Structure 1
């Protein structure tokens, strides 16, 4: 839902062995010294394919808070696809994106024992091994590139490794999921996909329209991601993907992350049972090697206070005014799942999947292994 994660004040996770002393006992036991002095040797790969640490109510210009650091430590995540781009506005999104990247570079510099930027498959493993949170810089719109394909190289040099082609509306690349024309991928968009393939960057189609999604999957020479979405077969809303899109994505080795968003239901507040239903449907269509979790949310649990309710309603109304609000966005339906409103939600999801008789191996794939595999396939030691 969110236009950009600049308002989410993303955070880092726990650091090395020293940081383990600050963690709850259950997590501290997991952060043990392994072979080659790797603090996180016994930690599993946990990746949120769209999300990030922080609190919904954090001051987005402030340094990372201790409370959010503590929550991030509880999460068990080893990496996140962190949105650094602006969306929906050619006039200001380039400058906004540069500003966001500078902010996160500063946070990494301030907390080198807690987080690191991930630019390669080796970095992904280094983040897990060191117990730091890996920040994978990503876009949720192509608008920061304007009409200049050379900006791919500029942003790649700055560490961006995931590029979503469209947000909800039409841009020069193609149609977003809210465009009634469903015009598909443009000629410029095809050139962008080709360049991203050449530069070993991951293409993301989460907010893309159906034709844009299908045409980009066909045009790409390497697997593609839909980092955060739901299944239209269960909730026929524009932000969800059809079985046809999901199957074609998986057939070419791609990945779909299921989000924890209002769009898991056609109406009303989704709960954990809705998330599990979407995960299981995606597994049925795509196979267990192509499904994961892209929460599209912050790590810290949200306190539903009067202040939060007002802020949330104001944000929904502002998105409606800008024309980027998707059907299903409602001031009374929150962008988190109430019974997963906890920092360690990935661990709880694992418990729920296990109770449904999913194997440990499958659960490990869903909680991060599949997205890690995709990144390694696309980045190819870049």
Structure 2
């Protein structure tokens, strides 16, 4: 089976795990909206990537990519290691991907810091660096061997998404019509993750899987990147009941910058804001964040990008991992947030709509930081 999006990830982080590099040019919203407290804020992307569409597996990060990360104002990037929808070789791939990031952190100590604890989050903010959190978007690298959780924890893994779109050993993903929920193994997996103080992520999970996992976990959980099903009914989006359940147990949901934010056509910043504000109404301001599911670098909408995007969608459909709402003509970015500083742009837009600086700070990353620190110690 393929990685998340074959032409974009190219071996998960072994190719810098990306969407696309370059720029389609800043939009009016991207250049107009600013937020004065941004420089000192705890800005966390709950699911993001660094790299370029031209990256090859194992490529070191280029100077351009490094500078775009530096310019972004992010303080923490939770980024994917390991493959999805794939068991064969998943353990080995995950180890290689973690090693890739260890090497990049060593190569760029002026920019990156590893994140293992809540104190590391604050260190990244204080030193104005970017803390790197390694996460799985599928528990496949663990396989049937729960003891691997201990190994991955020692290697630096701090967040595990239980399922991708399909059924795995832990439970049903959001594309499984049976919606069978957690397996017996899934319950054991949650228990072990709780014991090792690893965050549980329920993005991509089936609805019954999410509900049962929230109830089973002794610690708060994340839905690191999703949208609101009440606004747009898509398998990748979460119902109000799921969102409320996460909040009631102290967790956080992150709104993504993906095609599933509107019924058709290319989503815009207004769609992102609409989903954030709905989540605020359902969950409260202490339980909403942002997980872009994008690269830090802006997209350059070249013919090559369009062609590869279309090929990726067709391949995902063939493999059965494509979600409703994925389209060859709808791209994986938000045109008027097509800038490395998209979080600042969103903050400015939220401020213009009357949200307080304190609330905006929570949404940009304060809420993620609170839960990460609570679970990781």
Fold shared, TM-score > 0.5 on shorter chain = yes
After superposition, residues 177-192 of structure 1 pair within 5 angstroms as 177-192=174-189
Query: How far apart, in 1, do the equivalents of 2:15 and 2:322 lie?
Result: 18
Deviation at 1:270, TM superposition (A): 0.6
Alignment match, 2:297: 300
Q: 2:148 aligns with which of 147, 151, 172?
A: 151
Aligned residues of 1:76 and 1:344 also touching (Cα < 8 A): yes
Aligned residues of 1:56 and 1:298 also touching (Cα < 8 A): no
How big is each residue's C-alpha offset from its partner over 1:59-111, in whole Å with a ceiling of 9 and x where there is no partner? 34211111111111221000011100211011121121111112111111211
Deviation at 1:30, TM superposition (A): 9.2
Equivalent position SS for 2:40: coil
Give ranges in structure 2 of 5+ residues lacking alignment.
Answer: 19-33
How big is each residue's C-alpha offset from its partner over 1:270-323, in whole Å with a ceiling of 9 and x where there is no partner? 110000000000000000000010000101111101111111111212222222
Q: Normalising to structure 2: TM-score of the pair?
A: 0.90
1:355 aligns with 2:352: yes
Alignment match, 2:16: 9
Aligned residues of 1:54 and 1:72 also touching (Cα < 8 A): no
After superposition, residues 32-111 of structure 1 pair within 5 angstroms as 43-111=40-108
Give ranges in structure 1 of 5+ residues lacking alignment.
Answer: 12-26, 32-41
Q: 1:248 aligns with which of 240, 245, 248?
A: 245
1:372 aligns with 2:365: no
Alignment match, 2:205: 208
Aligned length: 354
Alignment match, 2:333: 336
Query: How far apart, in 1, do the equivalents of 2:347 and 2:78 lie?
Result: 20
Equivalent position SS for 1:171: coil
Equivalent position SS for 1:144: helix
Deviation at 1:261, TM superposition (A): 0.2
Query: How far apart, in 2, do the equivalents of 1:365 and 1:168 lie?
Result: 29
Aligned residues of 2:70 and 2:111 also touching (Cα < 8 A): no
Aligned residues of 2:17 and 2:80 also touching (Cα < 8 A): no
Query: How far apart, in 2, do the equivalents of 1:314 and 1:141 lie?
Result: 23
Aligned residues of 2:176 and 2:206 also touching (Cα < 8 A): yes
Q: Which deviates more from structure 2 when the two are superposed, residues 106-115 or residues 191-200?
A: 106-115
Aligned residues of 1:57 and 1:308 also touching (Cα < 8 A): no
1:269 aligns with 2:266: yes
Equivalent position SS for 1:80: strand
Query: How far apart, in 2, do the equivalents of 1:30 and 1:226 lie?
Result: 26
Equivalent position SS for 1:116: strand
Alignment match, 1:217: 214
Q: Which runs of 4+ in 1 moved over 4 A?
A: none
Greater relative contact order (CA < 8 Å, ≥ 6 in sequence): 2
1:233 aligns with 2:217: no
1:114 aligns with 2:121: no
Aligned residues of 2:13 and 2:101 also touching (Cα < 8 A): no
How big is each residue's C-alpha offset from its partner over 1:166-195, in whole Å with a ceiling of 9 and x where there is no partner? 000000100000000000001100011011
Aligned residues of 1:228 and 1:257 also touching (Cα < 8 A): yes
Equivalent position SS for 1:196: helix
Equivalent position SS for 1:91: coil
Deviation at 1:8, TM superposition (A): 6.2
Aligned residues of 1:168 and 1:324 also touching (Cα < 8 A): yes
Query: How far apart, in 2, do the equivalents of 1:246 and 1:199 lie?
Result: 25
Query: How far apart, in 2, do the equivalents of 1:206 and 1:284 lie?
Result: 20
1:325 aligns with 2:322: yes
Measured on the aligned residues, the alpha-carbon RMSD in Å equals: 1.9
Query: How far apart, in 1, do the equivalents of 2:78 and 2:118 lie?
Result: 14
Equivalent position SS for 1:238: coil
The 1:284/1:86 distance shift into structure 2, 3 A limit, reads same
Aligned residues of 1:55 and 1:299 also touching (Cα < 8 A): no
Query: How far apart, in 2, do the equivalents of 1:88 and 1:271 lie?
Result: 29
The 1:124/1:200 distance shift into structure 2, 3 A limit, reads same
The 1:323/1:234 distance shift into structure 2, 3 A limit, reads same
